[in-house]
Every structure is written in structure tokens, then in C-alpha cells.
Amino acid sequence: MGDGARLYTAVVGIQAPTMPATGQVEAALNVAAPHWYAAYTCPRHEKRVAEHLAGRDVEFFLPQYETVSRWKDRRVRLTLPLFPGYVFVRIPLQERLRVLEVPSVVRLVGSNGHPTPLPEDELEKLRHGLSGVVGAEPHPFLVTGRRVRIVRGPLEGLEGILLRRKGLYRLVLSLDLIQRSICVDVDITDVVPTVHAGRN
């Protein structure tokens, strides 16, 4: 083999370093970045799960409300979860075993076996807003109705469905991923109409 042939062989043997595809990079970043997820729990085990998460230094959110229940000859004030059956956790997906290994956690909510992150902005507004709201309580899941956006107050920026009962206004806020809703009292001057395609 002549010198020319040897040179050709050497040149074609050089390969550029393989670069990961854009989708692979985005997927890796998504797994490593913390997001909010809904952890589905065994019934009435939400508080116990929250205690375990705190012990593992996992950031969590368990919104609760107070209600009065009649037990035989007396009334008892109870503190119950606003979203029964769920505790929200903020973790990188690659650390999901820290949550899934907690007793009474069934799974992280998602589709086709893959956990789905909750809308970050929506969850953060809800988390910070509910700390300053009195009168929040669970409500049957609701997706249709007169949609409005809160423009003032602790829950500013959130959107929901406006209800009017006996001259009072209540706003139903829904998390579509888990198909759960809560309602809060609102002043009609603190909301403005909003329009979404496909929703009335």
C-alpha cells in the first residue's frame, strides 16, 4: 500500500466527539432540577407521610383546613387535608425514591408510569397564598363555569371558577393533574374575568 493510501486511511479514522442530542440534554436537566410532584398516599395517612418527609429533609406542602365534627354528645374540631390523599413534594425526579420509600406513599402522580410535574408557578402561588387565607375548604372537582383571575390578595394571579351563593362569592381552584378542587371566599372586586380557549 502506497503513502497516499496510508494517508487516506488515517484521515477517515478520525471521528469528531459525539455530542448528546438536544432532547437528551433537556431530559437530563429535567431529571436533575427540582419540581413539584403530587404524592398519592394511603387514605388518611397524609400527616404521617408529611412527618416522614420532614425526617428525610424532603420539601413538602400539605395544606390543611379546620372543620367541626359532631361525635356522639360533643363537637370536635379537626384539622384535615385540603387535598385528601395527596402530599405535594418538591424534588429532582432522580431522587424520587426518597419519597416512594416513605411508608404509605403509593406513587407519584403522572401518566404511563412517568411522574408529571405540577405547574411550578401555580403551586408556589397556592402554597404561599393559602398561608394567608381563612375559610379554604375542599370542593368537588370543577372545570366549567365563569372563569376569573384573582388580581389582589394572598392568592393573586391564580385562576378559578366563580360561584355565587346567598349573595357571597366563592372561588373554586382546581388542580387538573389530580382532579381535586378547593374553594375560598373572595371579594368580587378582587377578581376579573378571564377567557380560555375551550373553557367557558
Q: Cα–Cα distance between 112 and 56 in angstroms, integer?
A: 27
Residues spanned by the domain of 178: 119-200
pLDDT digits (tens, 9 = 90+) for 24-77: 544 555 688 999 999 999 999 999 999 999 999 999 999 999 998 888 788 898
- Do residues 111 and 144 both lie within one domain? no
Q: Cα–Cα distance between 18 and 144 in angstroms, integer?
A: 50
pLDDT digits (tens, 9 = 90+) for 172-197: 999 999 999 999 999 999 999 996 54
pTM for the full model?
0.81
For residue 180, give the CATH number of its domain. Answer: 2.30.30
Domain count, the chain: 2
In a domain, 166, yes or no: yes
For residue 38, give the CATH number of its domain. Answer: 3.30.70.940
Q: Cα–Cα distance between 69 and 172 in angstroms, integer?
A: 23
The answer to whether the CB of 132 falls within 8 A of the CB of 154 is: yes
The answer to whether the CB of 141 falls within 8 A of the CB of 180 is: yes
